[in-house]
Amino acid sequence: MGERTKYSPGTFSWTDLTTTDQGAAKQFYSQLFGWDAIDNPVGEDMVYSMMQIGGKDVAAISPQPQQQRDAGVPPVWNSYITVESADAAADSAQKLGATVHAPAFDVMDVGRMAVIQDPQGAFFEVWEPKAHIGASLVNVPGALAWNELASTDPDASAGFYRELFAWKIEPFEGMEGYLGIQTSQGNSNGGIRAATENEPSYWLVYFGAEDADAGAAKATELGATTLVQMDIGVGKIAVLQDPQGAVFALYAGRFDD
């Protein structure tokens, strides 16, 4: 079981969904993954729904900010990376050419975060943990299993993230054109691929599945759209778009501990 009580700096540690219909999204993902929702008030008439498997936090679902709705931004699964200091990480990212859309701020007593857009256009969050470390369960069906960057310039992206997080980024064995990411501690930490024509740079969140094909079929029955299904050698994947428009992926294969 991929249980976690802490994360090393530079490690993907959390994901949450900002969506236009929180109630419908909670129902969809609960039916798809067997998640239980714990609603935490975070403001007037607003809750941050912590999604759990067996009492362990695996993800969250929250309302999309009004300014994003007004700008026509689609619902999205966000990728969080643990850092020692959100302020220092945001400052370093900006010096490396990124845009800091939300400078570091406190999230009550649970942590401190910043929202950053890398030089190629992909958004990510840095997370300085306090009471909340991130996901307490990963690399199992229904939990965070992989984070993948589609980049309009993979080499430039690799250079940016190497500098920012001290990641080791090298060709992924057996997958031509795919770059594997390792943390400075040598742990597998996601991948980078070239964006397809007309595809923007973005981080894609993968959740574990017992069977990617069966998972995609179930998601489709629940109102999702299947975008890609593929055998990648080490396992099978499916890329899906949920009923509100957020893109996510399933992975079935060998999981890291």
What does the pLDDT profile of the chain (257 residues) look like in tens digits?
599 999 999 999 999 999 999 999 999 999 999 999 999 998 788 999 999 999 999 999 999 988 888 888 899 999 999 999 999 999 999 999 999 999 999 999 999 999 999 999 999 999 999 999 999 999 999 999 999 999 999 999 999 999 999 999 999 887 888 999 999 888 899 999 999 999 999 999 999 999 999 999 999 999 999 999 999 988 999 999 999 999 999 999 988 77
CATH 3.20.20.80 fits 138-253, yes or no: no
Fold adopted by 2-129: 2,3-Dihydroxybiphenyl 1,2-Dioxygenase; domain 1 (3.10.180)
Q: Are 134 and 80 in contact (CB under 8 A)?
A: yes
Give, as one character, the DSSP assignment of residue 17. Answer: E
- pLDDT, residue 174, reads 78
Domains 2-129 and 138-253 share a fold: yes
- pLDDT, residue 118, reads 98
State the first-to-last Cα distance of the chain, in angstroms, to the nearest integer: 6
- pLDDT, residue 71, reads 82
Q: Alpha helices, DSSP H only, in 141-234?
A: 154-165, 212-221
Cα 71 to chain centroid distance, Å, stands at: 22
For the chain, the structural domain boundaries read 2-129, 138-253
